[in-house]
Amino acid sequence: MDPRRSLGRPADVVAPLLLGAVVESGSADGAVAVRLTEVEAYAGEGEDPGSHAHRGPTRRSAVMFGPAGLAYVFFTYGMHWCLNVVVGPEGQGAAVLLRAGEVVRGLPLARVRRPAARSDRELAAGPARLAAALGVDGGQDGVDLLDPASPLRLLGPIGAVDPQQVRCGPRVGLTGAPERPWRFWLDADPTVSRYRPAPRRTGG
């Protein structure tokens, strides 16, 4: 199936198919490629209280409503960038957050970008770490990941991992629909991030 058509399906269908795919970024400093080992699905407008698209397009989330295959990059906690792949039909607002992966090319550059990592398996073990290892920031928001000329590309393959290797569970750190089992990861892979539930709200 054509990659854009493959990505044009519901987020919870596409997300596990991205496991094992490779994302590569290129810059004047060199290239870094990460094999995806953990992802998280977010549905479109009105469907998912945990999604940036839940209440419709905003200045921040506008890219999510574009065609499948675009990069949606957002800034969080005032300090970290996170990388998503836009999925689903155009105008829906669905995306898959790239949560963790294994650096498979460009290890020396990834180490420079992630000096706090204690080992290579920690270089991209978490969404902010993955984006940092790839050198992703707001400048890549909206780029076409399927364009061979793009500085940030999804190289595939899509859907190549044995489904028996895939595990799923609740999403991380959400107060909106955290119970949905839309976080997917490769079983026993050492680069998968640690699960952290959202803090419980107390009081009336």
- Of the candidate ranges 8-17, 41-50, 174-183, the one whose mean pLDDT is the lowest: 174-183
* pLDDT over threshold 80, residue 77: no
- Average the pLDDT over 28-42 and give the result: 97
Instruction: Give the rounded distance of the alpha carbon of 40 from its chain centre.
Output: 7
- Token code pair at residue 158: 């899509």
DSSP state for residue 121 in the 8-state scheme: G
Cα separations in angstroms, 195 against 2, 7, 179: 33, 26, 13
178: confidence class by pLDDT, cuts 50, 70, 90: confident
pLDDT at 197: 64
Residue ranges per structural domain of the chain = 3-186
pLDDT at 176: 77
- Of the candidate ranges 28-32, 89-93, 178-182, the one whose mean pLDDT is the lowest: 178-182
Q: Is the peptide bond before 163 cis (omega within 30 degrees of 0)?
A: no
Fold annotation for 3-186? 3-methyladenine DNA Glycosylase; Chain A (3.10.300)
Residue 170: which residues within 8 A CB-CB, separation 6 or more? 178, 179, 180, 181, 183, 195, 197
